[in-house]
Structure 1
Amino acid sequence: MSQFIASPATTLSGDLKVPGDKSISHRSIMLGSLANGITKISGFLEGEDALSTLKAFQAMGVKIERDGDNVTIHGVGINGLKKPEKALDLGNSGTSMRLMSGILAAQAFDCELIGDESLSKRPMGRVIDPLTLMGAVISSVDGKPPLKITGGQTLKGIHYDLPIASAQVKSCILLAGLYAQGQTCISEPATTRDHTERMLKGLGYEVRVNHNQICLTGASALTATQIQVPSDISSAAFFMVAACIAPQADVTLLGVNINPTRTGVINILQLMGANLTLSNQREIGGELLADIRVVSSKLKGIDIPQALVPLAIDEFPAVFIAASCARGETVLTGASELRVKESDRIQVMADGLSILGIENQVLDDGIKIQGGEFKRPTAIIESDHDHRISMAFAIASLRCEYPITINGVDNVMTSFPNFVELANSAGMRIVEV
């Protein structure tokens, strides 16, 4: 089992370029494979999760060439996928499994989706249920992987009200809707990331968005294009928080995706008093980018607005570290989705914060965190093999007077393979053993 040993550091500086957006990288492989023609991708995230998606489509007969973060996809068209020779192993990637279920539910062939121990515990009923309403045949044990999908089904469009705000469920249904007879419409209770809708439009597919309802009609084609993947705001969030809490910090994060459905972490940190500014805003390939400068800040505890929760759902482990270094209490509610991520992120973060001496109270759908000091003489944190928890506690070393040992950091490779290298280049002191 791999570990981070994060030694005390007080200074953080530099212009940093974090890896490509994970959500966009996944979707670029999926939609590029289903398009007619050659799609060229730059800035692709070379993390294990996105590579799981890439390998799965290669296994279904798509020719995909990769040179570092440049990827060329020879699309096979909407109906061109072939039966894989064996089960598709998606590793730790819940995004891959949920989104691909929508595509594979409509294929002529049977297939099976499997994953690692963590993914095998994650709930898939939330995509199985709407897909079944569309006519899919999917079997599982208690709604969890592995998923066995029976091919040869005729899908029909549905009007579906999402019971919870989830971009993965929304995207799964939209992707199934590409193959469905008639119109597929989804109504979401709160705004979620809209990368699928944007990329479908970029590939020439008509998607109709009216307030909280997204609709498309099946049986159209996707046309290949060029896709530039911006830097992932979820990865950048660790350095935003790191710069806020470091005693001496001045960091600029270059070319970060600031899609308005993803900027909850920026809004939350600004409400907490972060000295954070955006510059050089531009649009590339339908996605908004900016450079984000953050300097040392005096943070204050807040009640996090529930409207921001789905816009920052992946960034909360980092936000919890910010709350621990803030003056006063931070309260998060309406975030039960955090309990079914790669780990129960509420409980695992709470356990780690308690080890660091930070008072907290776990709620059914959130947490209360009392800002304070990391004051235990030694700290060994269990990340539950969750990449975002591993990185969150690593940046806490900027406010510690002792090393922090974090166990189970192997899955950092899924989203941020050069995290340690980049962090150390900015002034941190992290060793992986």
Structure 2
Amino acid sequence: MGRKTDAASRLAAALAIVLGTSEIPLRLRAWDGSEAGPAGAPLIVFRSRRALRRILWSPGQLGLSRAYVSGDIDAPDDVFASFSALSSAGKLAEPGPFRRPTVRELAFLVGTAVRLGALGPNPAPPPEEARIVRAGRRHSKKRDAAAISHHYDVGNDFYGLVLGPSMVYSCAVWDSEDTGLEAAQEAKIDLVCRKLGLRPGMRVLDVGCGWGSFALHAAQRYGADVVGVTLSTEQAALAGKRVADAGLTDRIEIRVQDYRDVEDGPFDAISSIGMSEHVGGEQMPAYVSRLHGLLRPGGRLLNHAISWNAGPTDPDPDSFIPRYVFPDGEMLSLAETVTALEGGGFEVLDVEALRRHYALTLRAWVRNLEDHWEEAVDIVGAGRARVWRLYMAASALGFETGLTGVNQVLVQKAGGAEPPLRRTDWI
């Protein structure tokens, strides 16, 4: 077949070694136009020799991620099918350290790079990689602020394209797969309000308030007075504007503030929606203690968080999510979260698993991004848009396979009124 088929077939052999599999369920197209792999399989395009060089220098998830974010690799067909095939072949979704090639395999990879003219120095990582965030002590207030800024301060207009008018950046609650995203997000926020037992005049703390959607709903629909705190200056700016536009500045206060610095309790209820993933396992007891101390007796806390369902593991700091998406983020198991909450003096009232709901939410966000791709690229650049596309599509697959989950854990501080005998307050 000559040189026209040589590049793609050699790439296929090299990628199989990197993924630790005998064959890959993908069709590969090389920079020279050659192709290899089963007909009808999802297509992965290697646009330049630099893609192979990135993978050789960082075998596994990080090298592949860098190649995709930089545009050296593309998945022009169904992004979910392509990422699913890669993940199933090499377990790329798992956060633990990736399998390193043996000496013999490494020699083959280097030889492949020589034959394809891809041997050379390690290419610089894409600028979207969060390298500077790692300065300082892990989960110090300064480092947490930098990590939050990396993820959330990328432009409110960009998030508006992805999230839609609700501006809610956490799992929605769907009555069915046909429920629209906006209705599903409103249902989730209302469910949280009901679980917290909100009533007019109650004082509520929203930890990690995002763009203010929960605060607005709690004030408008339930008559609550809400303090929302976030470390993102861009989130706070838009949340404050939304509050002012709604005429609710007397009922809602938005602060750029670390929850550890909140001193004006007590609160009747606390919502923490998609925030505790930023806390870290070692800091969970302090997080729980802090929120427990801010609640009045009998007050409720709703902790809504992604969970790691595949057993205990040490997260790999050099995998895609910590490098590009959530620096210093940590997923705990549901058992670890419940243990921390009970250990901090809370009584568990309810646990609801929403794994399938997050898969639907992420697929809706990916559709929004792809429907507005050119506009998104204009706002944040192609690299950042590709980071979010990879992150959301891969995360959807993680929820669909059960690798990850998401749970709402409702707890109550001792004292005050007894909880209802059954869930009639929120079902």
TM-score norm. by structure 1 comes to 0.27
TM-score norm. by structure 2 comes to 0.27
The structure carrying a bigger strand percent of its residues is 1
**Greater relative contact order (Cα < 8 A, sep 6+):** 1
The structure carrying a bigger helix percent of its residues is 2
